[in-house]
Structure 1
Amino acid sequence: MPRGFVSCGHSPADREETTVHDHRRLGRELNLFDTDPLIGSGLPYWLPDGAVVRHALEEYIRSAERRAGYRHVYSPVLGKRELYEISGHWAHYSDDMFPPMELGGEQFVLRPSLCPHHALVYRSRPHSYRELPLRMAELGGMYRSELSGVLGGLTRVRAIQLNDAHLFCTLEQVAEEAGAALEMIRRAYEALGIAPARYRLSLPGPGGKYVAAPELWSRSTALLREVLDASGLPYEEAEGEAAFYGPKIDVQVADGAGRESTLSTVQVDFHQPERFDLHYTGADGAKHRPVMIHRSVIGSVERAVAHLLEHHGGAFPAWLSPVQLAILPVSEAELPNATALAARCTERGLRAEVTAPERGTLGARIRETRLAPYQAIIGAREATADLIALRLRDGRRLDAEPAEGILDRIETLIATHSTELWPMA
């Protein structure tokens, strides 16, 4: 394995390979993540290159949220059991939660969701109708007590880093805000180079796992249908797939074997604003109940990276790639120039790495770094004149050009989150 990392023990579920590009195998071969029995099943750790991918993904969504008017918060991963009793999680979701921890005569629980915390953040300050919609976002940890038999790789884990957001708005603002969330999802998928398998309106099914509030279910379902119909997106209805507190729009993605999972979601919730007694002061001076929209653009970071690995086979869009520019000096004589070029890239915020001649022949090093979107071949001519002879991951080779111009164009393509490696001539 390149870059000096050694794989640790894996569970049988992790070893199972079921798709053409299995993210569990690729993730380890590319040194992105691994597991260890001493940490436990469903608790992968991120290696340096995987941390780069994760950080780039997180920074993308934080930046997109800031531009869309979201404010970011941090909240604890623990809460008292009483918090989840109020939210309804304890009654409807406790089978998927870790057991309470006793501390000083009180019970604390690892949170299975961020929404109760965000409801309390909203409730901590008075709000006027002039502030709404209030868009609150967090990339936060949550925990699910998944059974060992269903765990595997990054798709089913026990510790989840979720791109979550909660919008508090008036009833009249729900359709516009939910529609804007769908548009954020569309733009994110475009930047990630992926596409939805389908859109699903997830509705309640038979059984007692749902909040018993028929009028609220009817109102929220009608609102989401309105949003989907206005978007022009084709969708299917699926009973039994709703959250316990309300219906949701699920954006489904499919792996190489055609199996679907939910990556992104938009939900309308009348239940928790009522349970937590949330309100705002209206134009009439009276108290009014806000509507709570739950929204996740890229879902959990773990599932997003798993899907990207399988979809792209490890050849990430340039802005996500752990190494964006592989620098290959032809001989030891060009190594100082290659090292200096890597330092210039770092100053620009580009991720560059020199693969020295001691690693093998030029051809072998080109193959070794084949997943890098850009390869800079530095021979005697390039070193003397400060040129770059660029090779692209798609096989194109460009004539040698001044290094600064090449780096300018790479930097622009990465900054705009383009999935295009290089403009066609």
Structure 2
Amino acid sequence: MSDQLPDHRRLGRELGLFDTDPLMGAGLPYWLPDGAVVRHTLEEYVRERERAAGYRHVYSPALGKRELYEISGHWDHYRDDMYPSMRPGPAESDELVLRPSLCPHHALIYRSRSHSYRELPLRIAELGPMYRAELSGVLGGLTRVRAIQLNDAHIFCTLDQAVEEARAALGLIARAYADLGIEAVRHRLSLPGEGGKYVAGAELWSRATALLRQALADAGVPYEEAAGEAAFYGPKIDVQIADPAGRESTLSTVQIDFHQPARFDLHYIGADGTRHRPVMVHRSVIGSVERAVAHLIEVHGGAFPAWLSPVQLVVLPVAEEQAERAAAVVREAVALGLRAELAGPGQGTLGARVRAARLVPYQAVIGAREADARLAAVRLRDGRRPGALPVADLLHRISGRVAARGTALWE
């Protein structure tokens, strides 16, 4: 067996998950059908978890006027990493920019309606594209790309609600990591450093930092502080992961922001009937979908949790005489919402087909005895063989494990 460390770029191509083409450009991978299944399933999982936690989903444009990012501060602090503005009309005010972040758009969505304190916290979430003009030398597979599908959300709340919202976001991240089989190596409280480009307001920075420290304490999460890693507009909690080689990266974040609510003049009507400034909590459960999938490929070596696997069940008739019965089992599985495929005798010997499906969580072998009795001999990806089960029971059991969205194959 090779001692080569898992590399998502190699595995992604071997498993037919994603690829690149020079004509599309560096840092712009495309998703193949099996990879698209993983991505779609992951995105739907996040949306479902967010809905259950009280988030409401929106869509916002991938373009915005340059003025929008000047107001938010991104243009002044981040323009070297942004794509050049486009001018679709003759006036300078017509300049458009591919967005480097979703938060200015969500601030405008909040501002579009008046809000009462009774509506808060208002949780707005989006899985949306953003763009970074990364230098070609730092691009790599899915971990560093130029077009990013970002799992992002912004919570508009009162000052008294901010700590609890940040703590709840940490809990949402922890739940997702458990379901995905991801391990956080550490939590980092990222603070400003010397010489960095940060917005002014020492008192607001201090207040935001204190609130994040309280959220970490309330969540019982140990953390380290790191100077120089803050966002330009405020401190943040970074949830750090590591690849098989031990290289760290940030997957998830939680931030408390006083800057953008002021820049966009956001407000709500308080119990006293006057206008108050909301606090903006930024949080991302899985961050960049591309980076999350890259990490999952390496962590699981392509053997994804059953609920995330491109193919969840492969049905293997021993001989051509059982092919019709095996095809019927596939149809039953698909009708239940499972991703199932038939691997018939025309694809090689039974042993070869079993080996070819080694990354599929469940294999159902159907010989003459099983076909006559409507049974399937079950093989699990981890080598266990629970034995022959009635097909209906097997599909019910697999459906239950998939619905549970955990990492255990069998219970």
Match of 2:240 in 1: 252
Partner letter of residue 373 of structure 1?
P
1:94 aligns with 2:79: yes
**Alpha-carbon separation, structure 2, partners of 1:384 and 1:59:** 39
TM-score (normalised: structure 1): 0.95
Note the C-alpha offset of 1:359: 1.2
Match of 2:270 in 1: 282
SS in 2 for 1:400: strand
1:78 aligns with 2:66: no
184, 190, 197: which one aligns with 1:209: 197
24, 29, 42: which one aligns with 2:14: 29
**Alpha-carbon separation, structure 1, partners of 2:274 and 2:39:** 45
Note the C-alpha offset of 1:338: 1.2
Note the C-alpha offset of 1:43: 0.2
1:62 aligns with 2:47: yes
Pairwise CA RMSD: 0.9
Task: Report the count of equivalent residues.
Answer: 406
Note the C-alpha offset of 1:208: 4.1
Note the C-alpha offset of 1:337: 1.1
**Alpha-carbon separation, structure 1, partners of 2:366 and 2:148:** 42
**Alpha-carbon separation, structure 1, partners of 2:341 and 2:205:** 54
Partner letter of residue 47 of structure 2?
R
Match of 1:243 in 2: 231
39, 47, 64: which one aligns with 2:24: 39
SS in 2 for 1:408: helix
Summarize deviations over 1:236-265 as a string: whole Å, max 9, x none.
001111110000000000001110000000
Match of 1:13 in 2: none
Note closer, same or farther for the CA distance 1:244–1:280 as it changes in structure 2 (3 Å cut).
Answer: same
Does the 8 Å CA contact 1:263/1:303 hold for their aligned counterparts? yes
Note the C-alpha offset of 1:95: 0.8
SS in 2 for 1:76: coil
Match of 1:398 in 2: 386
Partner letter of residue 57 of structure 1?
L
Match of 2:258 in 1: 270
Does the 8 Å CA contact 1:19/1:257 hold for their aligned counterparts? no
Does the 8 Å CA contact 1:19/1:256 hold for their aligned counterparts? no
**Alpha-carbon separation, structure 1, partners of 2:70 and 2:4:** 40
Q: How does 1:20-419 map to 2 (within 5 A)?
A: 20-104=5-89, 105=91, 106-419=94-407
Does the 8 Å CA contact 1:195/1:253 hold for their aligned counterparts? yes
Which shifted more, 98-107 or 278-287?
A: 98-107
TM-score (normalised: structure 2): 0.98
**Alpha-carbon separation, structure 2, partners of 1:99 and 1:382:** 64
**Alpha-carbon separation, structure 1, partners of 2:4 and 2:100:** 29
SS in 2 for 1:79: strand
Does the 8 Å CA contact 2:312/2:361 hold for their aligned counterparts? yes
**Alpha-carbon separation, structure 2, partners of 1:336 and 1:147:** 54
Following TM superposition, where does structure 1 have runs of at least 4 consecutive aligned residues deviating by more than 3 angstroms?
Answer: none
Percent sequence identity is 73
**Alpha-carbon separation, structure 2, partners of 1:269 and 1:53:** 33
Which shifted more, 124-133 or 100-109?
A: 100-109
**Alpha-carbon separation, structure 1, partners of 2:63 and 2:335:** 39
SS in 1 for 2:225: strand
Note closer, same or farther for the CA distance 1:332–1:23 as it changes in structure 2 (3 Å cut).
Answer: same
Note the C-alpha offset of 1:370: 0.3
Note the C-alpha offset of 1:331: 1.1
Partner letter of residue 36 of structure 2?
A
SS in 2 for 1:292: strand
**Alpha-carbon separation, structure 1, partners of 2:100 and 2:21:** 23
Note closer, same or farther for the CA distance 1:259–1:208 as it changes in structure 2 (3 Å cut).
Answer: closer
Note the C-alpha offset of 1:399: 1.5
SS in 2 for 1:212: coil
**Alpha-carbon separation, structure 2, partners of 1:81 and 1:215:** 29
Summarize deviations over 1:113-135 as a string: whole Å, max 9, x none.
00000000000000000000000
Note the C-alpha offset of 1:334: 1.1
**Alpha-carbon separation, structure 2, partners of 1:226 and 1:86:** 30
Which shifted more, 211-220 or 121-130?
A: 211-220
Summarize deviations over 1:68-97 as a string: whole Å, max 9, x none.
000000000000000000000000011110
**Alpha-carbon separation, structure 1, partners of 2:353 and 2:59:** 43
SS in 1 for 2:95: strand
**Alpha-carbon separation, structure 2, partners of 1:183 and 1:141:** 25
Does the 8 Å CA contact 1:19/1:255 hold for their aligned counterparts? no
Partner letter of residue 250 of structure 1?
D
**Alpha-carbon separation, structure 2, partners of 1:325 and 1:77:** 37
**Alpha-carbon separation, structure 2, partners of 1:19 and 1:225:** 40
Which 5+ residue runs of structure 2 have no aligned equivalent?
A: none
Does the 8 Å CA contact 1:370/1:393 hold for their aligned counterparts? yes
**Alpha-carbon separation, structure 1, partners of 2:196 and 2:387:** 66
**Alpha-carbon separation, structure 2, partners of 1:242 and 1:383:** 62
Which 5+ residue runs of structure 1 have no aligned equivalent?
A: 1-17
Does the 8 Å CA contact 2:142/2:291 hold for their aligned counterparts? yes
Note the C-alpha offset of 1:19: 6.5
SS in 2 for 1:101: coil
Does the 8 Å CA contact 2:196/2:228 hold for their aligned counterparts? no
